[in-house]
Amino acid sequence: GGDTAPRGLPPVTLEETSEHLLQRDYLGRTVKLCKATATIPLPLDFPVKTMEDWWRLKPMFEFHPDRIDVAQMARARQAEAWVLAGMPGAFDMARELMGEELACLAYYDQPELMADIVQTLSDTTFAVLERVSREVRIDQLSVHEDFAGKSGPLVGPDIVRAYFRPYYRRIWEMLAERGTRVFQLDSDGNLQPVLDALLDGGLTSIFPMEPAVGMDIVAVRRQYGSRL
């Protein structure tokens, strides 16, 4: 019943061959899909390097009343189904805008930029889900970050507590008061170094729990019990 994602540009196909598809995507990035080997296109450029760049794109991330889909809310009220709401990732959206390297550095080089991005996500997500949850009980809140690999996460616990936690807790605490039961993070990789910080943000579930990178689900249960 509500749209928390950026209100992006319509995609434009720039070139298509039997081997690849070149497009301009919803953020204005040039992205390339290699048809034989990939299902997710690779961005070749990123639109945000500075605060000025972000301010040009910021309006597509802000709240507008037409983000609320009344008909979809009515269908959700009638269906006996598990209702899931998604929120944009604190790191994931910065990575989409800036690329992984610049996003990681910007926490140190441009903290005011990173703070404004996550505050905008927080304000829009809160405005959308506060209205939706008046009409429909949301069973699960989910956030996609996907910010870790075999060697560990791309950001450390201090960054998680400073940037992720206020955003996560603002949305989760509002929904939990209205009956939401699960707050799930979607991330591959070894999250062990930031688990404590993530749980401080209110998470109750992490998916997947990837053994190939060192995540031991038995050890995690022993450490956190039914908290996670």
Question: What is the C-alpha separation between 72 and 69, in angstroms, rounded?
Answer: 5
Residue 112 pLDDT exceeds 90: yes
Residue 77 pLDDT exceeds 90: no
Residue 191 pLDDT exceeds 90: yes
Residue 122 pLDDT exceeds 90: yes
Q: Which residues pair with 86 in a beta bridge?
A: 142
Handedness of CA 64, 66, 69, 71 (dihedral sign): positive
Residue 75 pLDDT exceeds 90: no
Q: CA angle at residue 88 from 71 to 200, to 5 degrees?
A: 120
pTM of the model: 0.94
Residue 76 pLDDT exceeds 90: no
The closest of 219, 105, 93, 83 to 164, measured between CA atoms, is 93
Q: What is the DSSP letter of 2?
A: B
Residue 134 pLDDT exceeds 90: yes
CB 101 within 8 A of CB 64: no
3-state secondary structure 130-185: HHHHHHCCCCEEEEECCCEECCEECCCHHHHHHHHHHHHHHHHHHHHCCCCCEEEE
pLDDT in tens, 8-22: 999 999 999 999 999
pLDDT in tens, 147-178: 999 999 999 999 999 999 999 999 999 999 99
